[in-house]
Amino acid sequence: MEQKHPANIFAEALDYLWNGLGLEEKGWKRLKKGDFKKKMKNGLTYQIWFDRSRYNYIDYEIGHGNVEVGFTCIIKQGDDRLYSFRIEPTTGGSFFRMLTDDLRLNTGLLDTFLPLIKANYLDFIDRFEANPAEALQPVCAPFTEAEDYSWFIYVREQMVERYGTPEQLAEYRRQAELRGTPEHKAKNWMGSMLFHLSHANDVDHAWASSRTKEELDQVVEPFVQAKRQTGQWTQEDEAGYQLYQQETDPKKRTFRVWYLIANPRGLPKEFVQKELEFRWKLFPDKKEEESK
Protein backbone atom coordinates (compact mmCIF):
# COMPACT_ATOMS: atom_id res chain seq x y z
CA MET A 1 0.00 0.00 0.00
CA GLU A 2 1.35 3.39 -1.00
CA GLN A 3 2.13 5.48 2.07
CA LYS A 4 0.88 9.05 1.97
CA HIS A 5 1.27 12.17 4.05
CA PRO A 6 -1.73 14.19 5.30
CA ALA A 7 -0.91 16.80 2.64
CA ASN A 8 -1.44 14.15 -0.05
CA ILE A 9 -4.87 13.28 1.35
CA PHE A 10 -5.76 16.98 1.54
CA ALA A 11 -4.74 17.45 -2.11
CA GLU A 12 -6.76 14.39 -3.15
CA ALA A 13 -9.82 15.74 -1.32
CA LEU A 14 -9.52 19.09 -3.09
CA ASP A 15 -9.10 17.38 -6.48
CA TYR A 16 -12.20 15.28 -5.80
CA LEU A 17 -14.32 18.29 -4.87
CA TRP A 18 -12.97 20.41 -7.74
CA ASN A 19 -13.82 17.75 -10.31
CA GLY A 20 -17.08 16.68 -8.67
CA LEU A 21 -18.41 20.24 -8.61
CA GLY A 22 -17.33 20.94 -12.20
CA LEU A 23 -15.76 24.26 -11.23
CA GLU A 24 -13.26 24.51 -14.07
CA GLU A 25 -16.08 24.57 -16.62
CA LYS A 26 -17.73 27.34 -14.59
CA GLY A 27 -14.65 29.58 -14.85
CA TRP A 28 -13.29 29.10 -11.32
CA LYS A 29 -9.58 29.18 -10.41
CA ARG A 30 -7.55 27.17 -7.90
CA LEU A 31 -5.32 29.17 -5.57
CA LYS A 32 -1.89 27.99 -4.44
CA LYS A 33 -3.02 27.32 -0.87
CA GLY A 34 -5.88 25.20 -2.19
CA ASP A 35 -8.92 27.49 -2.14
CA PHE A 36 -11.33 27.70 -5.09
CA LYS A 37 -12.18 31.21 -6.29
CA LYS A 38 -14.03 33.13 -8.99
CA LYS A 39 -14.02 36.92 -9.34
CA MET A 40 -16.86 38.65 -11.12
CA LYS A 41 -16.84 41.96 -13.01
CA ASN A 42 -19.64 43.28 -10.78
CA GLY A 43 -17.32 43.20 -7.76
CA LEU A 44 -18.56 39.95 -6.26
CA THR A 45 -16.16 37.14 -5.40
CA TYR A 46 -17.16 33.51 -5.00
CA GLN A 47 -14.80 31.42 -2.90
CA ILE A 48 -14.62 28.01 -1.25
CA TRP A 49 -11.90 28.14 1.39
CA PHE A 50 -10.50 25.25 3.37
CA ASP A 51 -9.18 24.79 6.90
CA ARG A 52 -6.83 22.01 7.93
CA SER A 53 -6.53 20.74 11.48
CA ARG A 54 -3.11 21.17 13.08
CA TYR A 55 -3.27 17.61 14.40
CA ASN A 56 -3.19 15.69 11.14
CA TYR A 57 -1.04 12.56 10.94
CA ILE A 58 -0.90 9.11 9.35
CA ASP A 59 0.98 6.26 11.07
CA TYR A 60 1.03 3.20 8.83
CA GLU A 61 2.90 1.09 11.40
CA ILE A 62 0.05 1.20 13.91
CA GLY A 63 -2.61 1.56 11.21
CA HIS A 64 -4.07 4.78 12.50
CA GLY A 65 -4.32 8.36 11.32
CA ASN A 66 -6.30 11.55 11.39
CA VAL A 67 -6.72 14.05 8.57
CA GLU A 68 -9.36 16.67 9.32
CA VAL A 69 -10.64 19.31 6.92
CA GLY A 70 -13.29 22.02 7.22
CA PHE A 71 -14.55 24.34 4.50
CA THR A 72 -16.87 27.29 3.91
CA CYS A 73 -18.51 28.50 0.69
CA ILE A 74 -18.83 32.28 0.56
CA ILE A 75 -19.95 35.20 -1.57
CA LYS A 76 -18.24 38.48 -0.76
CA GLN A 77 -18.05 42.02 -2.07
CA GLY A 78 -14.75 43.67 -1.21
CA ASP A 79 -14.13 42.77 2.44
CA ASP A 80 -17.84 42.23 3.16
CA ARG A 81 -18.84 38.60 3.37
CA LEU A 82 -22.48 38.59 2.24
CA TYR A 83 -23.41 34.90 2.06
CA SER A 84 -21.88 31.81 3.68
CA PHE A 85 -22.77 28.15 3.33
CA ARG A 86 -21.20 25.68 5.72
CA ILE A 87 -21.54 21.95 6.33
CA GLU A 88 -20.76 20.69 9.84
CA PRO A 89 -20.26 17.20 11.32
CA THR A 90 -23.22 15.75 13.20
CA THR A 91 -20.81 14.94 16.03
CA GLY A 92 -20.02 18.62 16.56
CA GLY A 93 -17.03 20.77 15.69
CA SER A 94 -16.18 22.15 12.27
CA PHE A 95 -13.74 19.58 10.86
CA PHE A 96 -14.50 16.36 8.98
CA ARG A 97 -12.30 13.27 9.24
CA MET A 98 -11.13 12.48 5.75
CA LEU A 99 -9.69 8.99 6.28
CA THR A 100 -11.33 5.58 5.98
CA ASP A 101 -10.37 2.77 8.37
CA ASP A 102 -7.71 1.62 5.90
CA LEU A 103 -6.21 5.16 5.79
CA ARG A 104 -7.48 6.15 2.36
CA LEU A 105 -9.44 9.24 1.32
CA ASN A 106 -13.09 8.85 2.28
CA THR A 107 -14.65 9.63 -1.09
CA GLY A 108 -18.01 8.38 0.18
CA LEU A 109 -18.06 11.27 2.65
CA LEU A 110 -17.13 13.75 -0.08
CA ASP A 111 -19.96 12.38 -2.22
CA THR A 112 -22.42 13.50 0.47
CA PHE A 113 -21.02 17.05 0.26
CA LEU A 114 -21.36 17.49 -3.50
CA PRO A 115 -25.18 17.71 -3.79
CA LEU A 116 -25.38 20.00 -0.74
CA ILE A 117 -22.80 22.41 -2.14
CA LYS A 118 -24.51 22.39 -5.52
CA ALA A 119 -28.00 22.98 -4.11
CA ASN A 120 -27.18 25.58 -1.46
CA TYR A 121 -24.26 27.40 -3.06
CA LEU A 122 -23.61 26.87 -6.76
CA ASP A 123 -27.29 26.73 -7.74
CA PHE A 124 -27.93 29.75 -5.51
CA ILE A 125 -25.21 31.64 -7.42
CA ASP A 126 -26.87 30.74 -10.74
CA ARG A 127 -30.26 31.93 -9.49
CA PHE A 128 -28.72 35.05 -7.94
CA GLU A 129 -27.00 36.04 -11.19
CA ALA A 130 -30.30 35.62 -13.05
CA ASN A 131 -32.55 37.36 -10.51
CA PRO A 132 -31.05 38.49 -7.16
CA ALA A 133 -34.33 39.25 -5.37
CA GLU A 134 -35.91 35.97 -6.43
CA ALA A 135 -32.85 34.02 -5.27
CA LEU A 136 -32.90 35.75 -1.88
CA GLN A 137 -36.57 35.02 -1.20
CA PRO A 138 -36.01 31.62 0.55
CA VAL A 139 -33.11 32.94 2.68
CA CYS A 140 -34.40 36.30 3.99
CA ALA A 141 -33.10 35.60 7.49
CA PRO A 142 -29.70 35.75 9.20
CA PHE A 143 -29.55 31.95 9.44
CA THR A 144 -31.23 29.20 7.46
CA GLU A 145 -30.48 25.77 8.92
CA ALA A 146 -31.05 22.18 7.91
CA GLU A 147 -33.55 20.31 10.07
CA ASP A 148 -30.73 18.05 11.24
CA TYR A 149 -28.35 20.98 11.91
CA SER A 150 -25.82 19.47 9.48
CA TRP A 151 -25.53 22.68 7.44
CA PHE A 152 -26.45 26.33 7.62
CA ILE A 153 -26.64 29.41 5.41
CA TYR A 154 -25.65 32.77 6.89
CA VAL A 155 -26.82 35.90 5.07
CA ARG A 156 -25.64 39.38 6.06
CA GLU A 157 -28.11 42.26 6.15
CA GLN A 158 -25.99 44.12 3.58
CA MET A 159 -26.78 41.46 0.97
CA VAL A 160 -30.54 41.87 1.34
CA GLU A 161 -30.12 45.64 1.55
CA ARG A 162 -28.13 45.78 -1.70
CA TYR A 163 -29.87 43.12 -3.77
CA GLY A 164 -33.28 42.45 -2.21
CA THR A 165 -36.59 44.29 -2.14
CA PRO A 166 -37.79 46.59 0.68
CA GLU A 167 -40.22 43.84 1.71
CA GLN A 168 -37.38 41.29 1.91
CA LEU A 169 -35.27 43.66 4.00
CA ALA A 170 -38.19 44.18 6.40
CA GLU A 171 -38.64 40.39 6.69
CA TYR A 172 -34.91 39.91 7.28
CA ARG A 173 -34.93 42.44 10.12
CA ARG A 174 -38.03 40.82 11.62
CA GLN A 175 -36.29 37.43 11.58
CA ALA A 176 -33.18 38.98 13.14
CA GLU A 177 -35.27 40.39 16.00
CA LEU A 178 -36.97 37.03 16.55
CA ARG A 179 -33.59 35.33 16.65
CA GLY A 180 -32.63 37.52 19.60
CA THR A 181 -35.58 36.47 21.77
CA PRO A 182 -35.00 34.09 24.72
CA GLU A 183 -37.53 31.65 23.26
CA HIS A 184 -35.70 31.41 19.94
CA LYS A 185 -32.29 31.13 21.58
CA ALA A 186 -33.45 28.30 23.84
CA LYS A 187 -35.15 26.48 20.98
CA ASN A 188 -32.12 26.86 18.73
CA TRP A 189 -29.45 25.83 21.23
CA MET A 190 -31.56 23.01 22.63
CA GLY A 191 -32.40 21.80 19.13
CA SER A 192 -28.76 21.68 18.13
CA MET A 193 -27.84 19.87 21.35
CA LEU A 194 -30.67 17.35 20.91
CA PHE A 195 -29.48 16.49 17.43
CA HIS A 196 -25.83 16.09 18.38
CA LEU A 197 -26.60 13.99 21.47
CA SER A 198 -28.97 11.80 19.43
CA HIS A 199 -26.04 10.94 17.13
CA ALA A 200 -23.31 10.78 19.78
CA ASN A 201 -21.51 7.49 20.42
CA ASP A 202 -20.64 8.33 24.03
CA VAL A 203 -24.28 8.71 25.17
CA ASP A 204 -26.11 5.89 26.97
CA HIS A 205 -29.17 6.07 24.72
CA ALA A 206 -30.95 3.19 26.48
CA TRP A 207 -30.64 4.93 29.85
CA ALA A 208 -31.79 8.27 28.43
CA SER A 209 -34.82 6.64 26.77
CA SER A 210 -35.95 4.85 29.93
CA ARG A 211 -36.16 7.85 32.31
CA THR A 212 -39.69 8.74 33.44
CA LYS A 213 -40.99 12.29 33.71
CA GLU A 214 -41.23 11.84 37.49
CA GLU A 215 -37.56 10.82 37.73
CA LEU A 216 -36.44 13.75 35.63
CA ASP A 217 -38.61 16.20 37.58
CA GLN A 218 -36.84 15.10 40.76
CA VAL A 219 -33.53 15.96 39.11
CA VAL A 220 -34.37 19.25 37.44
CA GLU A 221 -36.77 20.94 39.88
CA PRO A 222 -34.17 21.53 42.66
CA PHE A 223 -31.87 23.16 40.09
CA VAL A 224 -34.68 25.40 38.87
CA GLN A 225 -35.56 26.50 42.40
CA ALA A 226 -31.92 27.06 43.38
CA LYS A 227 -31.20 29.16 40.29
CA ARG A 228 -34.31 31.23 40.89
CA GLN A 229 -33.35 31.83 44.52
CA THR A 230 -29.79 32.86 43.62
CA GLY A 231 -30.87 35.14 40.78
CA GLN A 232 -29.24 32.96 38.09
CA TRP A 233 -32.49 32.01 36.37
CA THR A 234 -32.69 33.78 33.00
CA GLN A 235 -35.47 34.24 30.48
CA GLU A 236 -33.64 31.78 28.25
CA ASP A 237 -33.59 29.24 31.10
CA GLU A 238 -37.33 29.70 31.55
CA ALA A 239 -37.91 29.20 27.83
CA GLY A 240 -35.81 26.02 27.93
CA TYR A 241 -37.70 24.81 31.00
CA GLN A 242 -41.02 25.28 29.19
CA LEU A 243 -39.69 23.25 26.25
CA TYR A 244 -38.75 20.51 28.73
CA GLN A 245 -42.27 20.53 30.19
CA GLN A 246 -43.78 20.25 26.69
CA GLU A 247 -41.46 17.45 25.50
CA THR A 248 -43.16 14.07 25.01
CA ASP A 249 -40.19 12.02 23.76
CA PRO A 250 -38.47 10.33 26.77
CA LYS A 251 -34.95 10.51 25.34
CA LYS A 252 -35.24 14.15 24.25
CA ARG A 253 -36.74 14.98 27.64
CA THR A 254 -33.63 13.55 29.32
CA PHE A 255 -31.39 15.57 27.01
CA ARG A 256 -33.34 18.74 27.85
CA VAL A 257 -32.70 18.12 31.56
CA TRP A 258 -29.00 17.94 30.81
CA TYR A 259 -29.22 21.32 29.08
CA LEU A 260 -30.90 22.84 32.15
CA ILE A 261 -28.58 21.44 34.84
CA ALA A 262 -25.16 21.47 33.10
CA ASN A 263 -22.47 23.76 34.55
CA PRO A 264 -24.05 24.56 37.96
CA ARG A 265 -21.73 27.47 38.71
CA GLY A 266 -22.54 29.43 41.83
CA LEU A 267 -24.79 26.74 43.30
CA PRO A 268 -24.09 24.77 46.52
CA LYS A 269 -21.73 21.79 46.27
CA GLU A 270 -24.52 19.23 46.40
CA PHE A 271 -25.74 20.49 43.02
CA VAL A 272 -22.30 20.00 41.52
CA GLN A 273 -22.41 16.39 42.77
CA LYS A 274 -25.92 15.86 41.38
CA GLU A 275 -24.84 17.22 38.02
CA LEU A 276 -21.85 14.85 38.02
CA GLU A 277 -24.04 11.86 38.85
CA PHE A 278 -26.41 12.70 35.99
CA ARG A 279 -23.51 13.32 33.60
CA TRP A 280 -21.88 9.98 34.39
CA LYS A 281 -25.13 8.12 33.72
CA LEU A 282 -25.73 9.96 30.46
CA PHE A 283 -22.06 9.79 29.39
CA PRO A 284 -20.69 6.64 31.12
CA ASP A 285 -17.41 6.79 29.19
CA LYS A 286 -16.66 10.19 30.74
CA LYS A 287 -16.80 8.70 34.24
CA GLU A 288 -14.13 6.17 33.26
CA GLU A 289 -11.96 8.90 31.72
CA GLU A 290 -12.28 11.20 34.74
CA SER A 291 -11.57 8.39 37.21
CA LYS A 292 -8.28 7.44 35.54
More confident: 287 or 154: 154
Q: What is the mean pLDDT of residues 243-272?
A: 93
pLDDT-derived band at 150 (thresholds 50, 70, 90) equals confident
Q: How does residue 33 score in pLDDT terms, banded at 50, 70 and 90?
A: confident
Q: What is the C-alpha to C-alpha distance for residues 265 and 192, in angstroms, rounded to an integer?
A: 23
Q: What mean pLDDT do residues 46-50 have?
A: 96
Q: What is the mean pLDDT of the chain?
A: 92
**pLDDT above 70 as % of the chain:** 97
Is the pLDDT reported for residue 249 higher than 70?
yes
pLDDT in tens, 94-148: 899 999 999 999 999 999 999 999 999 999 999 999 999 999 999 999 999 887 7
Domain boundaries defined on the chain? 6-179, 183-291
Residue 93: its pLDDT value, please?
Answer: 78
**Does residue 292 register a pLDDT over 60?**
no
Q: How far apart are CA 20 and CA 106, in angstroms?
A: 14
**Interval 187-210: pLDDT, tens:** 888 888 888 898 888 999 999 999
User: Rounded to an integer, what distance in angstroms lies between the CA atom of residue 185 and that of residue 192?
Assistant: 11
Residue 1 has pLDDT above 80, yes or no: no
> What integer pLDDT is reported at residue 289 of this predicted model?
60
Residues 6+ apart with CB under 8 A from 54: none
Higher pLDDT, 153 or 60: 153
List the one residue out of 124, 145, 135, 136 whose CA is nearest residue 171: 136
Nearest to 35 by CA among 9, 17, 57: 17
